[in-house]
Structure 1
Amino acid sequence: MRILFICTGNTCRSPMAEGMLRKLAKDRGMSLDVRSAGVAASEGTSMSAHAAAVLRDQGIEDRITSTPLSEGLVDWADLILTLTGGHRRHVIQYFPVAADKIYTLKEYVENDLQVLEAQDELHQLVAELELDRALGKELDTARQRRLAELLRQMPAYDISDPFGGSRMEYNATALEIRSALEQLLDKLEKTDFKNSGEA
């Protein structure tokens, strides 16, 4: 399975998620192909020093440099996990045909059934509205109202941004990410993806 993490500059949260997931999956004997990118990233910028230190502390020596989000990466990924709802909306706006495989990380690992049902409806509405927008169609006001109502009901799924912060803030963000990644791997282990390789 191919998983793509998305944040803003691809120097803090998404490379930490990439490095951690690669190691955690390997430790569980799972075959995942993991990359990361940023919606406002430059090509080849080094990870922030604190993010790299957090990974080193976990025995992860990956040399991850920033990559701008591209159509090629969106096409490559089986699953796109953003670090915030804002990133998710951005990716869907630019790549509406991929809406059905774009989630926030925390949203994807949600296991409350009522929330999951609301999420399904929300995703369907977002995909329909973005497709209409891309095709230049007039947006349906009833669907927009329902979308706003569902968004108000959703839990907060953003992972805190440590950019410019202290090492302690990076540690807290890394713990938040790692917890979600453990849930992600638990979820993937229950599916057919365990040994799907990189096909």
Structure 2
Amino acid sequence: MNLLFVCTGNTCRSAMAEPLMRMRLTKAGLGDQVEVRSAGVAAQAGQPASKGAQQVMNAHGLDADAHLATPLDDELVRWADLILTMSQSHKRAILERHIEAMDKTFQLKEFVDDDPESMKLFEAMGELQAEAQTKQAQFMAEHADEIESLQERYQESGGQDPTVDAELAALQQRLEACVQQESERMMELVAKLPDYDVADPYGSGQDVYDATAREISGLLDKLVERLQEEGVE
């Protein structure tokens, strides 16, 4: 299994999560089954971990100097079997470019949340998503001839026909309208979810870094338990 932690600069939260998780996997006897990496959606390649993160790693007997920031790229997204982000903004940034990664991208806190009420919300959201996908598929099938005609006209004009652009935009609006109820309901459910962000300690004192590390450590303990229960592939 390939596990990828993602934050902003890959110098604080994901930089701590990577070695802390690797340490736990080794203790759990899963070190040979799970490869762990980390990256940042706005990382500068080769940057060292922040001093606060380095002190956290040193306190756990980990080699802080071994960490160098890695920018998130297409290859890493393809490599990962599971992508766990530190905030909603990181998750959104990934899915905006890699919608195909939707089924394997979660916030860390979201992924290990075992609260029954949250589970009900996620189940309802899954059902809504399935309903919306079914409606969209039906729409596409019912308008297949229209879509094909527009695609042909678009190619013939080299994308320079404003009439075609307007008709494509109208078609997109109709597609969105057919799942408007599901979209509105989804937003209502999302608003009921707890805050899954792990706060960024960057620029704060060591006490904040230590608190963030404790929070991440607790989440990683739950993550290891889940991997053990479900079995690592």
TM-score band by shorter chain is 0.7 to 0.9
- The equivalent of 2:26 in structure 1 is 26
The answer to which structure has the higher helix fraction is 2
Query: Residue type matched to 1:176 in 2?
Result: E
For 1:163, the equivalent position in structure 2 comes to: 202
Q: What is the TM-score with the length of structure 2 in the denominator?
A: 0.75
CA distance, structure 1, for counterparts of residue 67 and residue 185 of structure 2:
40
Moved more, 139-148 or 4-13: 139-148
Alignment equivalent of 1:55, drawn from 57, 62, 70 = 57
Partner of 2:144: none
Give the superposed CA RMSD. Answer: 2.0
Corresponding residue number in structure 1 for 2:97: 94
Task: Give the aligned partner of residue 231 of structure 2.
Answer: 192
Deviation at 1:58, TM superposition (A): 0.5
Counterpart CA distance in 2 for 1:15 and 1:60 is: 12
Pair 1:144 & 2:146 matched: no
Could you report, residue by residue, the CA deviation over 1:25-47 in whole angstroms, capped at 9, with x for unpaired residues? Answer: 11111132000111111111111
Cα deviation for residue 79 of structure 1 reads: 0.4
Query: After the TM superposition, which of the residue ranges 109-118 and 73-82 deviates more from structure 2?
Result: 109-118
Q: Is residue 68 of structure 2 the alignment partner of residue 65 of structure 1?
A: yes
Q: Number of residues paired by the alignment? A: 188
- Shift of residue 120, structure 1, vs aligned partner: 4.2
Q: CA deviation at 1:119?
A: 2.1
- Structure 1 CA distance for aligned equivalents of residues 119 and 101 of structure 2: 19
Deviation at 1:191, TM superposition (A): 1.4
For residues 97-176 of structure 1, the aligned pairs below 5 Å read 97-122=100-125, 125=129, 137-138=172-173, 139=176, 140-176=179-215
Paired with 1:66 and 1:28, the residues of 2 have a C-alpha distance of 27
Of structures 1 and 2, the larger Rg is shown by: 2
User: Matches of 1:44 and 1:122 in 2, distance apart?
Assistant: 39
CA–CA separation in structure 1 for the residues paired with 2:125 and 2:3: 22
CA–CA separation in structure 1 for the residues paired with 2:125 and 2:55: 37
Structure 2 gap segments, 5+ residues each = 137-168
- Which whole-Å CA distance do the structure 2 matches of 1:147 and 1:67 have between them? 34
DSSP-derived class of the 1:190 partner: helix
Unmatched runs of 5 consecutive residues or more in structure 1: none
SS at 1:34's partner residue?
strand
Q: Which residue of 2 aligns with 1:75?
A: 78
Residue 121 of structure 1: how far off its partner (Å): 4.4
Separation of aligned partners in 1, 2:191 and 2:29: 39
Counterpart position of 2:160: none
TM-score (norm 1): 0.88
